[in-house]
Structures are given as C-alpha cells and as structure tokens.
C-alpha cells in the first residue's frame, strides 16, 4: 500500500533510468532476433507501467500531489509515444506497439487529455485493423481491435456521446463473441466481459434497465467462469493455474471485475424495485471483495470496493425494513473507510466517503428516534465535508455531499425547534443544488436526475420550516416547487414516488392549518394513490408498504383511512421482519384504530421491548390504547413518558404533537369536558414567530 507521495517522488529518477536502459536493450536486440526484441520491448514497457504509470495512479489518492502525479504520467506518455514510433515488420512487435498505444490512451485519459487519448486510441485501432485484416485467424489481433472499440466507447461516454459509445461497445462484442464461442483463451473472454460491463453501465445510466440486466448477467456468468479457471476450481475446463506474478494479478483483477459487475447489477435491480434480487447480488459482491481484501489487506481498491457495496446493501436493507442489518452495513462501511483513512491519511476520497456514510447512518438513527446520536453523526459528517469543499472548491461531488448533509441537518434542527438554523441550512442546500444543476447542463445523465430529486426534497424541507414559522404562502410555494421537481422523475423510480407521496402529505398538513380542508384532502388522496401503487407492485419494498399502512391508519383526512387494511399490511410486515420495532408500532397503531385495544397494547409493548432506546410515538400510542381500554392511570403514565421524550427530542414534530393532543382528549377525566387530562405540555418554540 502506498503510504504517501514521498516514496513515489524518490523513485522518479530510478524509474527513468530503469526504463531507458531496458528500452535501449530492446531495440538493440531487435537488430539480431525478433523474439528477443519482443521480450525486451515488453520488459521496457512493463518498467514504465510499474514505475511511472503505476506510481502515478497510486498518487491519485492525494490531491496535494497532483503536480507530481502529472509529471510521472507525462513521462510515461513520452516513453509510450517513443515505443509506439518504432514500427517493425514483425507481427509480435506490432501487436505490442498497438498495446502500447492503448496504454498511451489510458495515460492521456488519466491526464484529462481527451484529444490526446482519442488520437492514441484511434492510432491503435488503425494498427489493429491492419493486423486483423492481415492475420484474420490470430486471436490476439482480433481481441486487441475489440479492446480499441471498448476504450473508444469509454471515451465517448465520458463526453456524453452515448449513441456512439453504444455502437463502439456493440462492435467490440460482435468481434469477441465468435472467439469466445470457439472456446478462446482467457484474453478474449476477459475482453468480452469488460465490454459487457461497460455496456451494462451505459444501459443502466440511460434507463434501459432490462437490457442492462441481461448484459450484466452475461458479464457475471463469463467472469465467474474465468475466476473458477484462474483459481483452479473449475470442473468444466482444465484449471489455469496463475503460477506467475502476472497470472496472480490477472486472477485478482478478474475477481475485482466480478465484484464490480455484481455491484452494478445490484444497483440496477435496486432502481427497478427488485429488492430481493438486489440483496442477493449485493451480498455476492461483498463476498468477492472481502475475499480479495482478506488475501491482500494492504490494497485500497478492495476495501474501497467492499465499502461501496456495503452502502448500497444498506439502502436495499432499509427498503426491506431490516433496519438493524442496515445499521450493521453502515458500521462495516465506516470501519473500512476508517482503515483506509488510517493507512492513507489525508486522502480526500476516503474522508468524503466516510463522511457520506456517517450521513446515511445519522439519517437511520434519526428515523429510529436516536436523535442525539443522529445529530452527532450528521454534525461530524458536515465538519469533514465543509473542510473538503473549502480545500477543493472545484469538486462538484464534495459540494453535492455537503448540500445533502445540510438538508438532512435542516430536517433534524426543524423538528428540534431551531427554526433559524433549519431555514439557513435549507437555503444553503437549495442554492448548492441549483448551482450544481446549472453546471451539469442538459446531458448530466443520472447525476442530473439525482441532483434534481435532491433539490426538490430540499425545497420540501424548506416548506416545512416555513410552515412552522407561520409563513404559509411561502411554504405552499416551496411545496409546489418540490412537487414540480419530483413529478418528472417519478415515472419508473419507486423511491422518487415514495418521496413525492411524502411531500403531498407535508402539504396537506399546511393546507389543513390554512383552513383549506378540501385541498388538504386532495393532497392526502394523491399521497394515498402513490403509496397504493407502490404497495401493490410485485416485490414492493417493505418501507413503501409501511408508509401506505401508516397513511391508512392515521391519515389527516379520517374518511381516507382504512385501519383494517392497515392491520393486514402491518401483520405481513411484522411476519417478514419481526425485529423491526417500527413495524410493531405500526401494527399497534392500526389495531388501536380498529378498536382492538388488547391486541394493540400487545403490539406496542413488543415495539418498546425491541427498540433501542425510546420513541415518543410508541408511548403516545400506548397511552391511546390504554385509554381505549379504560385504563386511565396506565395511560397517563405512558402519556407522560411519551411527552417527556417528545419535549427532549422532537418538540416540533407535527405528527407527535397531534398524537399528544389526541391522547389528552382520550385520557380526559370522564364527565369533565373542560378539565385537561394532565398538565399542558406546550412544545418548545411552538410560537409561530420563533
């Protein structure tokens, strides 16, 4: 593992000398023996690969060494160009010259020299087209020509030339498939897998999810076969034992490609709403990267690949309602990033990733009612991201991550009653997302969609802050803008439709307070329709079904409630994920709405037993259920505990304040309509002018 930029800088002189000596020997040998010349040529190029290109790539982790890295890569490019100028009548040397041109293209891409990369890849393609025509039965010539098409396709995708990229990937596939059908050697099959992986990513990014799934499944099948051959476990073909350092490197690269392909397929399944399929393939990706990390713990690529897959796995687990498993996935990802930050201190990429994972973990803690822990995680993440934005102001990714953190902190600060800070954070997030969208242009692809969704959600959170402050007209405009921003993206993206339904409910809260019950009912109906569609879909996410059931049990417009249907959904969820305390709360609330007080009490007690810490919602519904069972004293105890939790954690939650008022009414002494159930509990900051 590279520990810093110093080692790389010390080796520059040695690298240049080593490469120069080997290059000289290569061309001296060419004069007497082509085979020896080819061997020396490869040795010389490998020296540049190792000492210049390899070290230069290691330095990509260090923004502060950008100048040194570029110097190394420029030196490598000069050496590759010198190699590539040495034409030869020997086929083997010409193939190696073409491979050198491809390496030159890779280096030019690393230097963000797009014209230079395109020129190098184009020259390589021209050379291999000549060789493929001259030696049509030579698999090396055909394979390397296909690699040219793949590399040019990657370049086209970088420039948003999607149709051209797809055509190039198809050209690579059509050239490689006959070779693989004839049981080709490893190189053509590895090249075919790479082409399929890149095309799968293109299809995923352009929303062609079914095609992406097929392409990636074929890629995974091929890489699985190659991995078995390389590690000697294949039963269908003779083992290919990697008895050399190069062979071992190829085996690890193939295993990593397999992990990446599974990870990408998992994301496609996630986007399609196929959560069980996503879970299975994500777990396989993590297994593959874990095997690599265990075998070579000092390689940052493997820990990074595993951490990224853990984060996407956490998303899947959340949608399946497995919140404890989600929390574990975040902890494992944070542990991997912490190990990377310790081994490679100062690497902005790893610091950013750890902060984003803390952000996700903080959101989960907030959802679970662990508010103080959530605020700690979110604040720590914000400190790191703000520093990264300050140190690297041109990195759009850091600004986007900070905006997401500000938006989430705004939500928490609002519910805790700090309206000034909440509004400030919301405005900062909105401004950042607007600037990012303007900078992305019309061809921003999936990143543009993600940013547009984040902007809409941030506007809805601003609407909630303005609602709390009594600025109703401004709040309504913010909600309208949020809805307008989400609707174009909601078509085939379940998570976006879930967010849109939540915004409709937030607007219904506002409209109710504005004295517009008919409009509030319409907004509730829109939310209900969206969640009904999500819940009725095959393989519907547990979280989407839970949101629908909660609406059916507790909708602001009572006429839209259907507590019996809510009980059915909640019972299914509890059976699927019995460890999820929130689903037991949902079941208790739904049963309470049907008048089944004893079974409601049982479900709510189980929720309290399962939950880490407390949540005011559990206790307030327990108070309601006790009140319905005519157990006023027990109800008052639960009520006071719930109110204490609310005032200490989320005093400005509209839902919890509404439950508090409902419990007060239920527990009011019999025969006295004016006497309160207990001492009034005015939430902190309840005055609208705060």
665-679 per-position pLDDT tens digit: 999 887 655 555 554
- pLDDT tens figures, 185-223: 888 999 999 999 999 999 998 889 999 999 999 999 999
Query: What's the CA gap between 535 and 537, in Å, rounded?
Result: 6
65, 41, 44, 43: which is closest to 55 by C-alpha? 65
Q: Quote the pLDDT of residue 15.
A: 36
Q: Residue for token digits 């009612």?
A: 369
Q: How many percent of the chain have pLDDT more than 90?
A: 62
Q: Helices 348-367 and 371-391: crossing angle, nearest 10°?
A: 160
Name the CA dihedral angle for 415, 416, 417, 420, rounded to a multiple of 10 degrees: -90
Phi, psi of 273, rounded to the nearest 5 degrees: 80, 15
Hunting for tokens 């006790």 — which residue is that?
Answer: 626
Question: What pLDDT was estimated at residue 247?
Answer: 75
Question: By mean pLDDT, which of 172-181, 415-424, 551-560 is the weakest?
Answer: 172-181
Residues in CB range of 62: below 8 A, 6 or more apart: 4, 5, 69, 346, 347
What topology does CATH give the domain 140-234? 1.25.40
Pairwise pLDDT comparison (52 vs 523), residue with the higher score: 523
Which pLDDT tens digit goes with each residue over 134-188?
Answer: 999 889 999 999 999 999 999 998 887 889 999 999 999 999 999 888 666 888 9
User: What's the pLDDT tens digit per position in 508-517?
Assistant: 999 999 999 9
Determine contact, residues 506/523, Cβ cutoff 8 Å: no
Cα(573)–Cα(237) distance, rounded to whole angstroms? 46
Residue 353 CA to residue 312 CA, distance in Å, equals 13
Query: What would the pLDDT profile of 338-390 be if each residue is shown by its tens digit?
Result: 998 888 787 788 899 999 999 999 999 999 999 999 999 999 999 999 999 99
pLDDT score of 8: 34
Q: How confident is the model at residue 52 (pLDDT cuts 50, 70, 90)?
A: very low
d(CA 561, CA 569): 14
Q: How high is the mean pLDDT of the chain?
A: 84
Measured between alpha carbons, how far is residue 120 from residues 57, 198, 429, 603 in Å? 19, 20, 42, 67
Confidence of residue 439 (pLDDT cuts 50, 70, 90): confident
Q: How far is CA 210 from CA 214, 410, 507, 511, in A?
A: 6, 37, 35, 41
46 with 77: CB under 8 angstroms?
no
> Rounded CA gap, 512 and 472, in Å?
11
Average pLDDT over residues 57-69: 49
pLDDT at position 444 over 60: no
User: How many Cβ atoms are within 10 Å of 665's Cβ, its own excluded?
Assistant: 12
Helix extents (H) in 469-596: 472-486, 494-513, 517-536, 542-554, 563-576, 581-594
Percent of the chain residues topping a pLDDT of 70: 80
* Cα atoms in the Cβ-side hemisphere of radius 13 Å centred on 433: 26
Which residues have a Cβ under 8 Å from the Cβ of 665 and sit 6 or more positions away?
A: 677
**Residue 13 to residue 8: CA distance in whole angstroms:** 10
Query: Which residues have C-beta within 8 Å of that of residue 287, sequence separation ≥ 6?
Result: none
What does the pLDDT average to over 614-621? 96
213-258 per-position pLDDT tens digit: 999 999 999 999 998 888 776 655 544 544 567 778 888 889 999 9
Per-residue pLDDT of 96-134, as tens digits, reads 778 878 887 787 777 677 888 898 899 889 989 999 999
Q: What are phi and psi of 453, to 5 degrees?
A: -65, -45
* Per-residue pLDDT, 673: 54
Residue 50 pLDDT > 60: no
Q: Mean pLDDT check: name the lowest of 183-192, 260-269, 577-586.
A: 183-192
Lowest mean pLDDT among 19-28, 97-106, 190-199, 479-488: 19-28
- pLDDT tier, 271 (very low <50, low <70, confident <90, very high otherwise): confident
Q: What are the structural domain ranges in the chain?
A: 1-136, 140-234
Average pLDDT over residues 262-291: 93
DSSP 8-state secondary structure symbol assigned to residue 489: G
Site of tokens 């547009």: 452
Least confident of 87-91, 445-449, 676-680: 676-680
């Amino acid at each position: 593992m590279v520990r810093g930029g110093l080692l790389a800088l010390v080796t520059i002189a040695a690298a240049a000398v080593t490469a120069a000596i080997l290059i000289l020997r290569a061309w001296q040998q060419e004069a007497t023996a082509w085979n020896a010349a080819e061997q020396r040529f490869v040795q010389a190029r490998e020296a540049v690969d190792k000492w210049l290109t390899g070290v230069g790539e290691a330095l990509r982790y260090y923004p502060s060494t950008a100048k040194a890295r570029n110097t190394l890569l420029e030196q490598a490019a000069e050496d590759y160009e010198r190699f590539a100028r040495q034409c030869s009548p020997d086929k083997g040397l010409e193939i190696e010259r073409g491979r050198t041109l491809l390496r030159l293209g890779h280096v030019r891409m690393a230097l963000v020299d797009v014209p230079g990369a395109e020129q190098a890849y184009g020259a390589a393609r021209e050379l291999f087209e000549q060789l493929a025509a001259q030696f049509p039965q030579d698999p090396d010539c055909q394979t390397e020509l296909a690699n040219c098409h793949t590399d040019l396709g990657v370049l086209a995708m970088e420039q948003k030339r999607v149709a051209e990229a797809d055509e190039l990937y198809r050209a690579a596939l059509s050239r490689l498939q006959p070779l693989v059908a004839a049981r080709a050697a490893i190189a053509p099959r590895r090249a075919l897998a790479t082409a399929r992986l890149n095309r799968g990513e293109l299809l995923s990014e352009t929303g062609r999810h079914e095609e992406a799934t097929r392409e990636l499944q074929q890629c995974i099948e091929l890489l699985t076969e190659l991995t078995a051959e390389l590690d000697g476990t294949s039963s269908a073909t003779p083992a290919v034992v990697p008895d050399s350092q190069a062979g071992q490197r190829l085996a690890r690269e193939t295993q990593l490609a397999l992990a990446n392909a599974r990870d990408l397929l998992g994301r496609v399944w996630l986007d399609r709403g196929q959560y069980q399929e996503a879970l299975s393939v994500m777990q396989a990706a993590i297994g593959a990267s874990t095997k690599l990390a265990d075998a070579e713990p000092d390689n940052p690529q493997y820990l990074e690949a595993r951490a990224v897959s853990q984060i996407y796995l956490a998303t899947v687990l959340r949608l399946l309602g497995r919140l404890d498993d989600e929390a574990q996935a975040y902890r494992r990802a944070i542990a991997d990033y912490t190990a990377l930050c310790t081994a490679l201190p100062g690497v902005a990429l790893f610091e950013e990733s750890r902060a984003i994972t803390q952000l996700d973990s903080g959101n989960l803690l907030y959802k679970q009612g662990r508010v103080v822990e959530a605020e700690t995680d979110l604040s720590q993440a914000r400190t790191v991201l703000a520093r990264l934005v300050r140190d690297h102001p041109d990195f759009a990714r850091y600004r986007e991550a900070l905006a997401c953190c500000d938006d989430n902190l705004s939500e928490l600060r609002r519910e805790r009653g700090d309206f000034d800070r909440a509004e400030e954070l919301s405005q900062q997030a909105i401004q950042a997302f607007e600037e990012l969208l303007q900078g992305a242009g019309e061809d921003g692809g999936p990143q543009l969609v993600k940013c547009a969704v984040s902007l809409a959600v941030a506007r809805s959170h601003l609407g909630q802050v303005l609602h709390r402050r009594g600025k109703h007209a401004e709040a309504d405009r913010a909600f309208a803008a949020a809805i307008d921003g989400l609707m174009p993206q909601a078509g085939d993206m379940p998570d976006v439709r879930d967010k849109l339904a939540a915004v409709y409910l937030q607007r219904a809260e506002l409209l109710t307070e504005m004295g517009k019950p008919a409009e509030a009912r319409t907004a509730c109906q829109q939310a209900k329709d969206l969640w009904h569609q999500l819940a009725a879909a095959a393989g519907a996410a547990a979280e989407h079904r839970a949101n629908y059931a909660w609406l059916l049990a507790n909708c602001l417009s009572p006429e839209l409630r259907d507590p019996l249907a809510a009980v059915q959904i909640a019972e299914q969820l509890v059976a699927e994920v019995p460890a999820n305390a929130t689903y037991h709360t949902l079941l208790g609330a739904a049963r309470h709405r049907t008048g089944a007080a004893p079974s409601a009490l049982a479900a709510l007690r189980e929720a309290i037993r399962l939950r880490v810490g407390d949540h005011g919602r559990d206790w307030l519904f327990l108070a309601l259920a006790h009140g319905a069972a005519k157990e006023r004293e027990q109800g008052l105890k639960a009520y006071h505990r719930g109110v204490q939790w609310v005032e200490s954690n989320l005093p400005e939650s509209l839902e919890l304040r509404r439950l508090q008022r409902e419990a007060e009414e239920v527990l009011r002494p019999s025969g006295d309509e004016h006497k309160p159930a207990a001492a009034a509990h005015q939430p902190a900051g309840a005055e609208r002018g705060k």
